[in-house]
A and B are shown apart, each in its own frame.
Chain A
Amino acid sequence: MVGYIIRRLLYIIPTIFGVAVLVFVLFTAAGEDPVRVALGQHATPQAIADLEALWGLDQPLWRQFISFLGQIVTFNYGESYFTGEVLSEAFASGALVSLSLTLPPFVFGLVLNIAIAMMIAYYRDTWIDRFSTATAVISMSFSYLVYIIAMQYFLAYEFEWFPINGYAPGWDALPYLALPWLIIILVSIGPDVRIYRTIFLNEMQANYVRTARAKGVSERSILFIHILKNAMIPILTFTIVAVPFLILGSFLMERFFSIPGLGDLMITAINNGDFPVLKGMTMYITMTYALFNLLTDLLIAAVDPRVKLH
């Protein structure tokens, strides 16, 4: 097991290097030129040169790349070109805010969607199943943006149940987060329930279920003990790889509700060609994604004795 973990961790290094090359080439060759964006129209060549020197963009590309690799190793991505923020601080505070936005509805949604999927699977081929599946498909057909715009308009503005937007630190954030949570949960129901339902239905047709029924095990025991446990393996995979994206937040949600998380930081950086932020965020996503993939494999091995890691 330990050897497996070390081997997997070593595999991450070439992956990160590959992504670093890709990110550097993409943002250097194809992205917005941050100096031109900052200076706007009719900047003098001297002003361009001065700002390039200030941001280190006058250095040869290979030296800029080496410096980028140094940042990846030290987790120090410097400062934002545009706001002068220290990025390690901005990432840390932004990640916490993003988590406060996405984690509660993620956990709640997970429990809720598993429960709904179990119910639908239990009543497979009945009107409940057909109605729920149709509702899930319809709800998936609407863009995320439609949910945000409609619910912000009706629930916050028309009915005045929630603040229209805004954010406050600590517990004061609760009223501001409630509507985004509700939207995230609602949006997750359609796709998640469909996947979980399929997983449960597959398990229900498995030989061990037939054997259990033949032994006279009650339906509720089959459902909650046998099927639920086995179905948790794919659900676990599905769930854990989503965790890095929780920290990243929900881009649109943060934008519409003025929540100062990482998603909004990323959008602003894309608009401005803020290379340090984009580099840092992309590498951060890569690393957490790789680590959580590893974590998924370890957890699957822990919950499923049939899986052996070598």
Chain B
Amino acid sequence: MIPSDGFVVYVALSEFMAVQRISIWQKAPQLVLSALLIATVAVPLGCRPRDGVGNTDVKVLDSYRGDVYRSLDPPKQFDAASSRIISHIYDPLLDYHYLKRPYELTPNLLESMPEIGEDKLTYTFKLRKGIKFHDDPCFSGGKGRELTADDVLFTIKRFADVNVNPQSYPALLQNRIKGLDEFREKTRQQKDLDYDQENIAGLEKVDEYTFKIVMIEPDPLLLMSFATNALSIVPKEAVEKYGRKLEHHAVGTGPFTLAKNPRKGVMVLKKNPNYHGTYPTEGDPDDQSQGLLTNAGEQLPFVDEVRIPLIEEAQPRMLKFLSGELDSIGIDRDNFTKMAEKVSNEFQLKGKFAKQFNISSVDALSSFYITINFRDKVFGQNKVLRQALAYALDTPAYIEKMENGRGHTLNTIVPLPIAGSEQSVSVQWYSHNLQKAKAKLKEAGYPEGKGLPPVVILYGSQDNITRQNHEFLRAQLAKSGIQLKGEFLSFSDYLGRKEGGSFQLASGGWRADYPDAENFYQLFYGPNKAPGPNDGSYQNPEFDRLYEQMRRMPAGSERNQIIEKMALLLKADVPVVFLKAPISVGMRQKWLLNSKPNLMLGSTAKFLDIDTEMKAEGLK
């Protein structure tokens, strides 16, 4: 029954002992062996735990997490794992539309989008009435009370408190709201401030459901900060009752409540029956035909329970998905060639996988590129050399061979699903051309690469995939005469070298904090030079002028024209060489309904539904 070496040895040992006619006391090892073998092998046989099998009464969404979360307290989270869990339980004021692309802000806890005053500085927010926090012992009688404007103002102040949030304030609210930076400085000097006693010029309560935010200067992008999970609304009572324990406890207004929360193991979330949200009633043109509007207008969430085990390794994750124990999964590079293929720009599953599962693909909100350091003596002053580099790289081949086709080439720094990308501006990046690369190299003073010392590129990782990618780039550039040498560093060393300006080229990437082109073009804004986001310390006064103009403008064709000019300047100056905009490919079980990838939402669980009969059948 058990064809293991242990069993064979056990039999041999029994025979040996029998032959030797060893007395009872001498058979002790044999008896121990028997007991332990039975315990090891017989107990689990036939009792493999598979939750939810045959149970059609409870809708369970089987999800997973690849990393341990760091904190469930919204202003303290700064990692994807925490953000994802938080988005199940808490609500930010605004959210991104589940179905519409490009990504579009929608009111979440608000009655409507905020009203912008004539001064372009004052935003008036009106909360929806009747939204309640989850039932929790922190509230009087254990019943969740109604959300009010006080909760929002408390949340913003707490977010700005340096003792609570040393991390995400600079990126989201610094230099934006009148008086808030001063309040933050005050918290640096004085811990445990009573927020209620602190008046901030830019935060004003109008009534129980209305408040105003006054900005320092016009900034249409501010609203996107209020759609991040870090600015989800936290009730004061929970902070007072739980203190630091709020990092592992959660009291929000979100679609699910935290039922079980082991740091590792299976986290269990239960449906919030009082949730305020409803399924969207409109979407993209294809959404209706794909059944994504079947539940339009219905109360969310649809599933009763979300189970989120921690599975850190790729193999067990994939095996659990294949056996039906997970409802969806991303396909990694190793599994891609076995399970899927790209046919005419469409991703398809192969053979048995196509029969059993559905495939999904989505353009990621990130760009990958090679940053060129303008402070480097060789590259910094030699635009033609930088252009030679751009011609020398065959990015379509890179995407095809190193990423199995899971990516786009880039014409601008902005990935496709984001407003201001190449879909709304007309710019063509350098195409691979070995002749032109060699000609540019000659023009730069390095014919056939002669006289050009080996070019060093930094990587912030030491894993095999990074080294394989480097080998590909090295071989490509060698064809035009450029010798590339890789330096593989720990992440913090890599950041230190970039910020110190001690590099020639650096492999890099940027994921959108919010879905707007500004978030990518700030990487080239002069005043942001290293150690700021402009790693290569690119300087172009004209670019800076256009950037400052663009960041204060609302989305539209006029703004796109400016973005186009900026993209053309980058093309001429080549402060980076583009590599790819990734495409995430995943599989989902056929019983998973309403599934449409949305990378701006931490979690889409509240929109998902399960065909429980199909799932029960599939798990048998």
Q: With an 8 A cutoff between CB atoms, is A83 at the interface?
A: yes
Contact B26 A224 (CB under 8 A): yes
Q: With an 8 A cutoff between CB atoms, is A13 at the interface?
A: no
Contact A186 B44 (CB under 8 A): no
Q: Given A39-B78, A153-B315, A224-B26, answer yes or no on A112-B263 (Cβ-Cβ < 8 Å).
A: no
Question: Inter-chain contact count A-B, CB under 8 Å?
Answer: 177
Contacts of B266 in A (CB 8 A): 166
Q: Convert B522-544 into 0s and 1s, putting 1 for each residue whose CB lies closer than 8 angstroms to a CB of A.
A: 00000000011100000000000
Q: Convert B26-57 into 0s and 1s, putting 1 for each residue whose CB lies closer than 8 angstroms to a CB of A.
A: 10011011001001110111011100000000
Q: With an 8 A cutoff between CB atoms, is B345 at the interface?
A: no
Contact A45 B531 (CB under 8 A): yes
Q: Given A164-B320, A174-B44, answer yes or no on A189-B9 (Cβ-Cβ < 8 Å).
A: yes
Bound CA span A51–B492, Å: 15
Q: Convert A114-157 into 0s and 1s, putting 1 for each residue whose CB lies closer than 8 angstroms to a CB of B.
A: 11100100100000000000010001000000000100110011
Contact B167 A47 (CB under 8 A): yes
Q: With an 8 A cutoff between CB atoms, is A82 at the interface?
A: yes
Q: Given A37-B491, A175-B44, A179-B44, answer yes or no on A149-B315 (Cβ-Cβ < 8 Å).
A: yes
Q: With an 8 A cutoff between CB atoms, is B220 at the interface?
A: no
Contact B492 A84 (CB under 8 A): no
Q: With an 8 A cutoff between CB atoms, is A160 at the interface?
A: yes
Contact B9 A116 (CB under 8 A): yes
Q: With an 8 A cutoff between CB atoms, is B12 at the interface?
A: yes
Contacts of B22 in A (CB 8 A): 220, 224
Residues from 188 to 204 in B contacting A, C-beta threshold 8 Å: 188
Q: With an 8 A cutoff between CB atoms, is B484 at the interface?
A: no
Q: With an 8 A cutoff between CB atoms, is B16 at the interface?
A: yes
Q: With an 8 A cutoff between CB atoms, is B614 at the interface?
A: no
Contacts of A51 in B (CB 8 A): 166-167
Contact B26 A178 (CB under 8 A): no
Contacts of A50 in B (CB 8 A): 162, 166-167, 188
Contact B265 A167 (CB under 8 A): yes
Contact B315 A36 (CB under 8 A): no
Contact A165 B320 (CB under 8 A): yes
**Which chain B residue lies CB-closest to A53?**
B166
Contact A32 B5 (CB under 8 A): no
Min C-beta distance of B76 to chain A, whole Å:
8
Contacts of A149 in B (CB 8 A): 315
Contacts of B492 in A (CB 8 A): 32-34, 36-37, 273
**Which chain A residue lies CB-closest to B314?**
A256
Contacts of B48 in A (CB 8 A): 156, 160-163, 175
Residues from 204 to 219 in B contacting A, C-beta threshold 8 Å: none
Given contacts A37-B492, A46-B170, A186-B4, 15 further A-B contacts (CB under 8 A): A38-B167, A50-B162, A54-B163, A105-B40, A114-B29, A115-B30, A119-B12, A156-B319, A162-B44, A164-B316, A165-B311, A166-B49, A167-B265, A185-B6, A189-B9
Bound CA span A220–B53, Å: 54
Q: With an 8 A cutoff between CB atoms, is B119 at the interface?
A: no
Residues from 5 to 53 in A contacting B, C-beta threshold 8 Å: 32-34, 36-47, 50-51, 53
Contacts of B533 in A (CB 8 A): 41-42
Residues from 40 to 84 in A contacting B, C-beta threshold 8 Å: 40-47, 50-51, 53-54, 82-84
Q: With an 8 A cutoff between CB atoms, is B104 at the interface?
A: no
Contacts of B30 in A (CB 8 A): 115
Q: With an 8 A cutoff between CB atoms, is B327 at the interface?
A: no
Interface pairs A-B: 8 shortest CB-CB: A50-B166, A260-B264, A33-B492, A36-B492, A178-B44, A165-B316, A175-B44, A42-B533
Contacts of A185 in B (CB 8 A): 6, 40
Min C-beta distance of B225 to chain A, whole Å:
16
Min C-beta distance of B324 to chain A, whole Å:
11
Q: With an 8 A cutoff between CB atoms, is B441 at the interface?
A: no
Contacts of A40 in B (CB 8 A): 78
Bound CA span A50–B162, Å: 7
Bound CA span A260–B41, Å: 22
Contacts of A167 in B (CB 8 A): 264-265
Contacts of A257 in B (CB 8 A): 316
Q: With an 8 A cutoff between CB atoms, is B310 at the interface?
A: yes
Residue of A45, A115, A139 with most partner-chain B CB within 10 A = A115
**Which chain A residue lies CB-closest to B9?**
A116
Q: With an 8 A cutoff between CB atoms, is B13 at the interface?
A: yes
Contact B263 A33 (CB under 8 A): no
Bound CA span A260–B73, Å: 22
Contacts of B312 in A (CB 8 A): 255, 258, 264
Min C-beta distance of A303 to chain B, whole Å:
18
Q: With an 8 A cutoff between CB atoms, is B101 at the interface?
A: no
Q: With an 8 A cutoff between CB atoms, is A85 at the interface?
A: yes
Contacts of B174 in A (CB 8 A): 44
Contacts of A186 in B (CB 8 A): 4-6
Q: Given A112-B6, A119-B13, answer yes or no on A258-B316 (Cβ-Cβ < 8 Å).
A: yes
Contacts of A119 in B (CB 8 A): 12-13, 16
Interface residues, chain A, with chain B CB atoms under 8 Å away: 32-34, 36-47, 50-51, 53-54, 82-85, 90, 104-105, 107-108, 111-112, 114-116, 119, 122, 135, 139, 149, 152-153, 156-157, 160-168, 174-176, 178-179, 181-182, 185-186, 189, 220, 224, 255-258, 260, 264, 268, 273
Contact pick for A33, options B39, B162, B325, B496, CB 8 Å = B496
Min C-beta distance of A19 to chain B, whole Å:
23
Min C-beta distance of A33 to chain B, whole Å:
4
Contact pick for B13, options A104, A116, A163, CB 8 Å = A116
Bound CA span A107–B30, Å: 14
Contacts of B311 in A (CB 8 A): 165, 258
Contacts of A273 in B (CB 8 A): 492
Contact B36 A108 (CB under 8 A): yes
Contacts of A34 in B (CB 8 A): 492
Q: With an 8 A cutoff between CB atoms, is B337 at the interface?
A: no
Contacts of A139 in B (CB 8 A): 5
Contact A258 B78 (CB under 8 A): no
Contact A153 B319 (CB under 8 A): yes
Bound CA span A258–B206, Å: 50
Contact A108 B68 (CB under 8 A): no
Contact A41 B495 (CB under 8 A): yes
Contacts of A178 in B (CB 8 A): 40-41, 43-44
Bound CA span A176–B316, Å: 13
Q: Convert B304-324 into 0s and 1s, putting 1 for each residue whose CB lies closer than 8 angstroms to a CB of A.
A: 000001111101100110110
**Which chain B residue lies CB-closest to A220?**
B20
Interchain residue pairs with CB less than 8 A apart (16): A39-B78, A46-B170, A50-B166, A83-B69, A84-B248, A111-B32, A115-B29, A157-B322, A157-B323, A160-B323, A161-B45, A165-B311, A175-B48, A178-B44, A182-B6, A260-B264
Residues from 235 to 261 in B contacting A, C-beta threshold 8 Å: 244, 247-248
Contacts of B12 in A (CB 8 A): 119
Min C-beta distance of A90 to chain B, whole Å:
8
Contacts of B454 in A (CB 8 A): none
Contacts of B291 in A (CB 8 A): none
Contact A175 B49 (CB under 8 A): yes
**Which chain B residue lies CB-closest to A218?**
B20
Bound CA span A175–B264, Å: 18
Contacts of B49 in A (CB 8 A): 163, 166, 168, 175-176
Contacts of B276 in A (CB 8 A): none
Bound CA span A279–B489, Å: 23
Q: With an 8 A cutoff between CB atoms, is B71 at the interface?
A: yes
Contact A255 B309 (CB under 8 A): no
Min C-beta distance of B29 to chain A, whole Å:
5
Q: With an 8 A cutoff between CB atoms, is B490 at the interface?
A: yes
Min C-beta distance of A36 to chain B, whole Å:
4
Q: With an 8 A cutoff between CB atoms, is B554 at the interface?
A: no
Contact A256 B167 (CB under 8 A): no
Contact A32 B170 (CB under 8 A): no
Bound CA span A156–B32, Å: 26
Contact A84 B5 (CB under 8 A): no
Contacts of A152 in B (CB 8 A): 315-316, 319
Q: With an 8 A cutoff between CB atoms, is B262 at the interface?
A: yes
Min C-beta distance of A180 to chain B, whole Å:
10
Q: Given A32-B492, A164-B320, A264-B264, answer yes or no on A84-B78 (Cβ-Cβ < 8 Å).
A: no
